[in-house]
Amino acid sequence: MSGGRLANRYSLMQPLGSGGMGRVWLARDEMLDREVAVKELTLPEGLSPKERAELVTRAVREAQAMAQLRHPGIVALHDVVVEHDRPWIVMELLRGRTLGEAVQAHGPMPVEYVARIGADMLDALSAAHARGLQHRDVKPGNVFLTDSGRVVLTDFGIARQEGQATLTEQGMTIGSPGFIAPERLEGEAGGPASDVWSLGATLYLAVTGTAAYSGTAAERIRATLTQPLPVAPGPLGPLLAAMMAAHPAARPAAPAMIQPLRQAAAGLPAVLPVHHVPTAPRPVRRRHGPLLWLAAVAAVLVVAAAATAVVLILKNRDNGVPAAFTVPLNVCSLLGQEDVGLLLRTQQPPAGKASADELGPQCGWTTPGRGMEVQVQKDSDTRDPWAMSPESARTLFGNQHRYWAKNDRAQWIWPEIGVTKAQPVTRTPVRAIGGVGEEAFTYELKGPTGRMLSAVVFYRLANLVVSVEYTTLADRPSDDDIKQTALKAAQASERALLHAG
């Protein structure tokens, strides 16, 4: 198609490269008289007209979102055009070569230079993650080193859209084996922490000259899931090990790693984010709220702007359950002061403390020896819980059920109620329950002596997935009392959601 034109404006001059997701052209924007890069997105074969239209629409929507993100470390997206039954993405033209090409040509890079690349890329990822966007294919071939000295992340967000529906239906994972985070290889959608893992693997290649996991694609996938993490030599070793922790909750958030890498780039001793312990035992899920699930206590960015987000009812179905929740509501309003006082057994109920992590907004109520937490969750594809569909909520609920069914050990700390040192806990088997939501499951946590400490309830209501946790350090309540208190808290939060409409 050399010599063709798009939108009666972009003149395609010659191909610059191609891959499984499409072809990149050198083109000229005749309106602005400048050279640009145009990516021709390839859609999967065998799609129906409806499926093709849906994928084109999704690609255009993602490109529009990316066009609003301006950062020197992210390739600028100028325009999106739909012609010849497929989308074309118009981007700034970069001159230089990829990180992968540079390593292939010259071998391992100096530690300070790799650290600067990492800091620049984390700064770019932080900006995107703050807007709810993930890359999903961070790898040496997508880190571009320009002739002017810029380090630029390319193909940002595009891989997420290309053929996403069809690939997901076929159970495939978009990405490059060896640079795909383990949780995504296990079938989870992944989130910002998955990008951090992929960048860690990319920097490992840059500083050592070899990939962390090598071999065929199948061998790299198997190694990522089963083999110990290789540690890079030198000052970047601990930093990359933290970024590539097996469980996403054990990885520092992207913003927390920028300063340590800047220190390494300046030739100074690099200090990991406070409390991060990469050598701690088996990793488990951690949330930023009052109840901390630890393998390594990572520094997780709290998105304060999202802390008050839950939803109001859009419309009701015949059975009284809402069809969807769409309008923000303070999560701390899901348990009233009377409910909090009864559940925590105090005449002076504490005020709720709102926070948020990558799973969604949450609120915690604590007194000495007791605490509760409510969180409304979202998947990594959705910016806010109220943007979830019932279908995506069902998928998220199922993923949570499967995750907790296979992770039974953790370390636990909750300073606000008096647990100031991490202690090991075990989880009871996950089991389905009734009495709350449209579907629900529960499990409990037991301390080193076998005494029950916490009960956790997950339930789905329309397009929402809600988790409720209750903990007590008191010896008097029976195990059944703890279970029932958690269930009552979940039921109270459900009533608040329904009453809000």
Q: At what angle do helices 479-500 and 337-344 cross, to 10 degrees?
A: 170
39 is in an annotated binding site: yes
In the chain, how long is the greatest CA-to-CA distance? 80
Q: What is the DSSP string of 154-170?
A: -STTHHHHTTHHHHHHT
Q: At what angle do helices 254-265 and 236-243 cross, to 10 degrees?
A: 170
3-state helix, strand, coil in the chain (%, to 5): 35, 25, 40
Which candidate, 90, 38, 42, 40, places its Cα nearest to that of 67?
A: 90
| CA dist list (Å): 2 to 11, 75, 219 | 9, 24, 39
The bridge status of strand 312-316 relative to strand 322-327 is antiparallel
The H-or-E segment that residue 411 falls in is strand 409-414
CB within 8 Å of 179: residues ≥ 6 apart: 137, 138, 139, 140, 198, 201, 202
Annotated catalytic residue, options 29, 137, 155, 381: 137
Q: At what angle do helices 111-129 and 236-243 cross, to 10 degrees?
A: 30
The bridge status of strand 292-294 relative to strand 409-414 is antiparallel
Q: Count of residues for the chain?
A: 501
Tell me the Cα Rg of the chain.
24
Q: What is the DSSP string of 281-327?
A: SS-----SSSSEEESS-------GGGTT---EEEEE-TTS-EEEEEE
Residue 422 contacts residue 409 (beta carbons within 8 Å): no
Phi, psi of 288 (to 5 degrees): -80, -15
3-state SS of 69-119 is CCCCCECCEEEEEEECCEEEEEEECCCEEEHHHHHHHHCCCCHHHHHHHHH
Which candidate, 91, 7, 88, 93, places its Cα nearest to that of 43?
A: 88
Does residue 384 carry a catalytic annotation?
no
Token couple for 58: 């999704």
- HSE, side-chain direction, 13 A CA sphere, residue 246: 18
Token couple for 90: 């118009």
Residues facing 79 on adjacent strands: 90
The catalytic residue positions are 137
- Please state the residue numbers annotated as binding site for ATP: 39
- Please state the residue numbers annotated as binding site: 39
